[in-house]
């Protein structure tokens, strides 16, 4: 693909789908990708504007100059640790294809644990009122609305750019009329009388000292505002716990995504308020602590 990597023999060979995938896989592996083959296929499918599965039935197709140029640019950026989801502009979450940009965190399978727990708890309520703090891409709110047709959701974020992405996703999945998107810091944009059956959040929970140790694609490209949780990673969580009582109904539930090392401390923080039944921790599919759940007394 790159001019300095081609020998005379290589240049004589056509750049087919299969050859580009193989070359890109090797190139990205050298540059630290944990999933170089998958990255190569997703990027080439994007460059060709085709489903990824179609690559396998067109393995011997020769790429035209326009597709090769597009692919070359994508591979260059990926080799510099730019996330694939930002390069192609979308990511799958809870069965939905969602728009993403560098203004929002990339939705991750771990966060589906929170959605699943929320859907389970809300299933018995006829018209659940749900507040999401720090909606980002809107992945949680949109997935919830798509699976709970009777739910009414308020989704808050401090970033107007993130809210633009969230609105775009809600519109694309036909749930925008059931989600009110508000700009502001946590509870600030809410009416003081607003009450909810569920308050949910995937807040920033990375400790400051750990930010530098994150993978380069996260550390250098995803928004730090949505990652950094202060000295111990709990600054925003403490703020939520201090203010949530005004807006969570008795018998309502608080659900917080947490870091895998925070499973022991969260029940203690929640218990300290005296306003909740004993909190429980839900593990993700990798059996790591992922969601703290507490019912308001």
Q: Which residues contribute to the annotated binding site?
A: 134-138, 157, 202-205
* Beta pairing partners, 181: 155
The annotation places the binding site for substrate at 202-205
* Beta pairing partners, 156: 133, 182
Report CA dihedral (189, 194, 198, 204) to the nearest 10 degrees: 20
For residue 72, with 0-12 CB atoms within 10 Å meaning exposed, 13-18 middle and 19 or more buried, which class applies?
Answer: middle
Please, are residues 257 and 118 in contact by the beta-carbon 8 Å criterion? no
Q: What residues have CB less than 8 Å from 144, skipping those under 6 apart?
A: 115, 118, 119, 122, 130, 132, 151, 153
Residue whose C-alpha is closest to residue 203's, from 152, 288, 151, 140: 140
The whole-angstrom separation of Cα 288 and Cα 260 is: 6
Helices (H), the chain: 8-12, 17-30, 36-48, 65-79, 84-88, 112-122, 139-147, 160-172, 208-211, 216-219, 235-243, 265-272
The annotation places the binding site for S-adenosyl-L-methionine at 134-138, 157, 202
Sign of CA dihedral 258, 266, 204, 240: positive
């Amino acid at each position: 693909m790159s001019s300095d990597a081609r020998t005379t023999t290589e240049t004589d060979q056509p750049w087919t789908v299969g050859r580009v995938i193989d070359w890109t896989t090797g190139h990205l592996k050298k540059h630290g990708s944990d999933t170089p083959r998958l990255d190569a296929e997703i990027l080439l499918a994007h460059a060709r504007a085709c489903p990824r599965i179609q690559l396998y039935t067109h393995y011997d197709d020769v790429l035209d100059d326009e597709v090769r140029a597009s692919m070359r640019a994508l591979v260059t950026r990926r080799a510099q640790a730019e996330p694939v989801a930002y390069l192609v502009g979308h990511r799958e979450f809870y069965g939905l294809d969602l728009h993403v940009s560098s203004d929002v965190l990339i939705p991750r399978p771990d966060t589906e644990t929170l959605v699943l727990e929320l859907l389970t708890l809300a299933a018995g309520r006829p018209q659940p009122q749900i507040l999401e703090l720090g909606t980002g891409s809107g992945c949680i709110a949109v997935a919830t609305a798509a699976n709970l047709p009777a739910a009414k959701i308020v989704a808050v974020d401090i970033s107007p750019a993130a809210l633009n992405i969230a609105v775009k996703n809600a519109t694309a999945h036909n749930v925008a009329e059931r989600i009110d998107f508000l700009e502001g810091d946590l509870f600030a944009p809410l009416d003081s009388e607003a009450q909810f059956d569920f308050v949910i959040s995937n807040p920033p929970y990375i400790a400051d000292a750990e930010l530098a140790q994150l993978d380069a694609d996260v550390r250098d490209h995803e928004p730090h505002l949505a990652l950094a949780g202060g000295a111990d990673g709990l600054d925003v969580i403490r703020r939520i716990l201090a203010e949530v009582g005004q807006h969570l109904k008795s018998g309502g539930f608080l659900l917080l995504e947490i870091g895998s090392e925070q499973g022991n401390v969260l029940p203690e923080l929640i218990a300290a308020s005296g306003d909740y039944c004993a909190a429980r921790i839900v593990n993700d599919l990798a059996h790591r602590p992922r969601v703290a759940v507490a019912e308001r007394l």
